[in-house]
Amino acid sequence: MTDSDTDTELRVSKIENGTVIDHIPGGQALNVLAILDIDGSGGEEVSVGMNVPSNRLGRKDVVKVEDRELSGAEVDVLSLIAPHATINIVRDYAVSEKLRVSRPERVVGVLSCPNANCISTAGEPVDSTFDVLDDGVRCGYCDTIVREDIAALIDPA
């Protein structure tokens, strides 16, 4: 390898155990971290590649999280902002499972309705419920439709 090769090569170390989320649309990695409730204060080892070249997407983001496998609810919300993402489960430095996300018909308890008059935001003991549309989500209580910035609705609780 010549010096010029090392100057243009991006190196991110392999993870021993954990999850690699690939094919995230460019610029969405920080939203993926929000979905996973990773803000840098919890001690998780995380590697993030943003706006890296991709044959499939043009530009993509990649997130690697050590010692963590995603829950079904996390994958469901992830599918709303990264519908073509692949999830690689790594064990002993090798990919043991490779999964593609699939959009659920409904997500429950993971998004907050932006409608201040919705029963799900009025302090009532109900879980938020959103029907997943081709181009967004619709609140199951008040029918508010959100097509952009779905990541902003992620319920931090």
Judged by DSSP in three states, 99 sits in strand
Distance (Å, whole) CA 116 – CA 45 = 37
The answer to whether 150 is annotated as binding is no
The answer to whether 139 is annotated as binding is yes
Compute CA distances 52 → 17, 37, 60, 149, whole Å: 23, 23, 5, 22
Instruction: Give 32: exposed, middle or buried? Use CB within 10 Å, 0-12, 13-18, 19+.
Output: buried
Distance (Å, whole) CA 108 – CA 110 = 6
The answer to whether 46 is annotated as binding is no
The answer to whether 72 is annotated as binding is no
Under 8 Å between Cβ of 130 and 120: no
Angle among Cα 138, 143, 147 to the nearest 5 degrees reads 35
Q: Which two tokens stand for residue 102?
A: 């699939």
The annotated binding site for Zn(2+) is made up of 113, 118, 139, 142
The annotated binding site is made up of 113, 118, 139, 142
